[in-house]
């Protein structure tokens, strides 16, 4: 996608530059209450989903791991606690990255974690530098998703593995209707009450609906150069975990 083409900010068509700026504004707004809202929105289930995702990484001592769109670094801490390895905590948003660094230090992870502020579609890593890449609940906010997937392939070593944990498309019609009611009626109210920002959480609900579904994302990963791509639905497809490998 070129910079002259349109992107989707929720349901609204905007330029790629405008989407990047507006997504940055969303996360600047919600950074301080982001962790609390994650617990409230998912009933704490996001913690189980993240542990499941890290299990699928199949980590080994000595691995170089990138937590992409790391936010407040929940995945970074789970990874750092598993093995003797190096973790890069990366996010495009400086405020979220600082929040993640503070939380890591508070949790006792002052060493073994490095920080980089970067766009997922232009990663500052050499080709073949990393063993694992994970992105949790971040790909749908990336302006150039195909570029980001291609960058994941580029920075991974042969035999590397990438994992995408993301909200996806609910499979059961009854559950989908309930989920829509929650997303578009209750979630913005919760965002207003807790974070003082209904609009950002309305955007987050919309961004889930316009994100590629399970099969479409699998195809995007294959086109980017991943092999052996598979996915696992959690909670009936509310969340999906996609795994791809590099040759």
Query: What are the residue boundaries of the structural domains of the chain, listed by start?
Result: 30-172+200-245
**CATH of the domain spanning 30-172+200-245:** 3.40.50.150
Tell me if 16 sits within 8 A of 7, measured CB to CB. Answer: yes
Q: Which parts of the chain register pLDDT below 50?
A: 1-4
**Residue 5 confidence (pLDDT):** 54
- What pLDDT is stored for residue 6 in this prediction? 67
């Amino acid at each position: 996608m070129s910079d002259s083409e349109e992107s989707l900010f929720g349901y609204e068509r905007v330029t790629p530059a405008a989407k990047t700026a507006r997504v940055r504004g969303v996360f600047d707004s919600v950074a301080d209450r982001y962790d609390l809202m994650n617990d409230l929105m998912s009933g704490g289930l996001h913690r189980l989903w993240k542990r499941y995702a890290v299990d699928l990484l199949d980590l080994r001592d000595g691995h170089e791991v990138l937590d992409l769109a790391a936010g407040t670094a929940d995945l970074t801490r789970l990874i750092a606690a598993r093995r003797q390895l190096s973790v890069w905590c990366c996010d495009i948003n400086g405020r979220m990255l600082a929040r993640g660094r503070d939380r890591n230090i508070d949790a006792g992870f002052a060493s073994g974690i490095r920080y980089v502020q970067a766009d997922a579609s232009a990663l500052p890593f050499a080709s073949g530098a990393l063993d694992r890449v994970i992105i949790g609940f971040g790909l749908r906010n990336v302006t150039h998703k195909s570029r980001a997937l291609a960058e994941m392939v580029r920075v991974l070593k042969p035999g590397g593995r990438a994992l995408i944990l993301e909200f996806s498309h609910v499979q059961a019609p009854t559950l989908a209707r309930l989920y829509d009611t929650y997303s578009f009626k209750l979630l913005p109210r919760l965002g207003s009450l807790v974070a003082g920002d209904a609009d950002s959480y309305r955007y987050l609900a919309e961004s889930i609906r316009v994100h590629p579904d399970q099969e479409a994302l699998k195809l995007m990963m294959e086109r980017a150069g991943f092999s052996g791509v598979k996915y696992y639905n959690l909670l009936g497809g509310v969340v999906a975990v996609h795994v791809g490998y590099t040759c």
